């Protein structure tokens, strides 16, 4: 069975602080994909990143960075120098190649960035 | 390019009524899914389809039916609405890119209230 756990329900930081959102996943597949999505207060879902199971390189995109560690089944997301516009719910998701192309989402982490 | 279009955006139903949530995509994507989003529970997969004529159940299929007669359309039917089906519903599509699976492209969501 596939499972995604985002243990942090809500996080509150002050602007310019760094913040890390945790994501732990479970799957028996050797080929799988991990995703992060952002849901701002307006409600739409915005794709942030995709990572496949064979690529453990960390990635940086502006103030965003992702740390993928297969040894701990984690795919954590860090925002550096947070801004008020980063306030949103962030979802981590998992799709395995077997199991019919299902994408399973975590419960999400709500991030509040205060000015 | 419209992407993924969901209609309606808002709907209020009485208990026992039936209705169909529409989802259409114009990107020729093979894969389509329906999710519901409830507070604190993230996105849960209701049903999904890997191509026209093929559908399968997700995590929470009870009370919902789907069909996929064309690549473009993937309607979600509530046969007898219940208050427990009050939620925000998202439709998503994606495709296979070589050996990789792309991220999901989401519609804007349908907010359904069952009274």
Quote the CA–CA distance of B92 and A106 in Å, as a whole number: 16
CA B51 – CA A85 distance, rounded (Å): 37
Closest residue of chain B to A105, computed from CA coordinates = B43
Angle at Cα A25 formed by Cα A20 and Cα A27, nearest 5°?
160
Give the mean pLDDT of A68-96. Answer: 95
- Spatial separation of the C-alpha atoms in residues B37 and A20, rounded to whole Å: 23
In this prediction, residue A115 has a pLDDT band, given cuts at 50, 70 and 90, of: very high
Measured between CB atoms, does B40 come within 8 Å of chain A? yes
Q: What is the per-residue pLDDT across A24-80, written as a single tens digit (0 to 9) for each? A: 999 998 889 999 999 999 999 999 999 989 888 888 889 999 999 999 999 999 999
The residue-averaged pLDDT of A74-100 equals 91
User: Which of B51, B100, B104, B108 is the best substitution to test chain A (most A C-beta atoms within 10 A)?
Assistant: B104
**β-strands A59-61, B96-97: how paired?**
unpaired
Q: Is B85 helix (H, G, I), strand (E, B) or coil?
A: helix
Separation of alpha carbons B2 and B16, rounded Å? 33
Does residue B110 contact residue B6 with C-beta atoms inside 8 Å? yes
- Average pLDDT value for residue range A87-96: 94
Q: Assess contact for B66 and B76: CB atoms under 8 A.
A: yes
Structure confidence at residue A16 (pLDDT): 97
The Cα–Cα gap between A5 and A74 comes to: 10
Burial class (CB in 10 A: 0-12, 13-18, 19+), A48: middle
Q: How far apart, in whole angstroms, are the C-alpha atoms of residue A98 and residue A19?
A: 33
A9/B40 Cβ within 8 A = yes
Asked if the C-beta of A51 comes within 8 angstroms of chain B's C-beta atoms, the answer is: no
Q: Which chain A positions have a beta carbon within 8 Å of B94's beta carbon?
A: 103
What parts of chain B have a pLDDT lower than 70?
Answer: 1, 99-101
Supply the pLDDT for residue A59. Answer: 86
Task: Tell me which chain B residues have a C-beta less than 8 angstroms from the C-beta of A43.
Answer: 88, 108-109
Q: Which of A24, A57, A47 is nearest to B93 (CA)?
A: A47
Q: What is the pLDDT of residue B39?
A: 84
- What percentage of chain A has pLDDT greater than the value 90? 75
What average pLDDT does the structure give for chain A?
Answer: 92
Residue A112, CA atoms < 13 Å, CB-side half-sphere: 5
Nearest CA of chain A to the CA of B5: how many Å?
A: 12
The 8-class DSSP code of residue B104 comes to P
């Amino acid at each position: 069975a596939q499972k995604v756990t985002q243990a942090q329900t809500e996080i509150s930081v002050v602007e310019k602080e760094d913040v890390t959102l945790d994501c732990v996943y479970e799957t028996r597949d050797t080929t799988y994909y991990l995703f992060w999505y952002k849901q701002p207060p307006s409600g739409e879902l915005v794709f942030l990143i995709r990572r496949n199971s064979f690529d453990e390189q960390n990635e940086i995109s502006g103030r965003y960075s992702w740390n993928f560690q297969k040894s701990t089944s984690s795919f954590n997301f860090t925002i550096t120098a947070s801004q008020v516009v980063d306030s949103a719910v962030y979802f981590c998701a998992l799709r395995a190649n077997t199991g019919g192309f299902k994408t399973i989402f975590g419960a999400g982490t709500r991030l509040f960035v205060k000015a | 390019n419209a992407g993924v279009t969901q209609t309606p955006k808002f709907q209020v139903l009485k208990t026992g009524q039936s209705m169909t949530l529409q989802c259409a995509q114009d990107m020729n994507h093979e894969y389509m899914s329906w999710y519901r989003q409830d507070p604190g529970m993230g996105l849960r997969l209701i049903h999904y389809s890997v191509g026209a004529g093929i559908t399968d159940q997700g995590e929470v299929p009870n009370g919902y039916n789907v069909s996929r007669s064309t690549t473009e359309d993937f309607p979600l039917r509530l046969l007898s609405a219940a208050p427990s089906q009050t939620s925000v519903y998202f439709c998503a599509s994606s495709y296979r890119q070589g050996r990789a699976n792309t991220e999901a492209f989401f519609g804007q969501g349908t907010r359904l209230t069952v009274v």
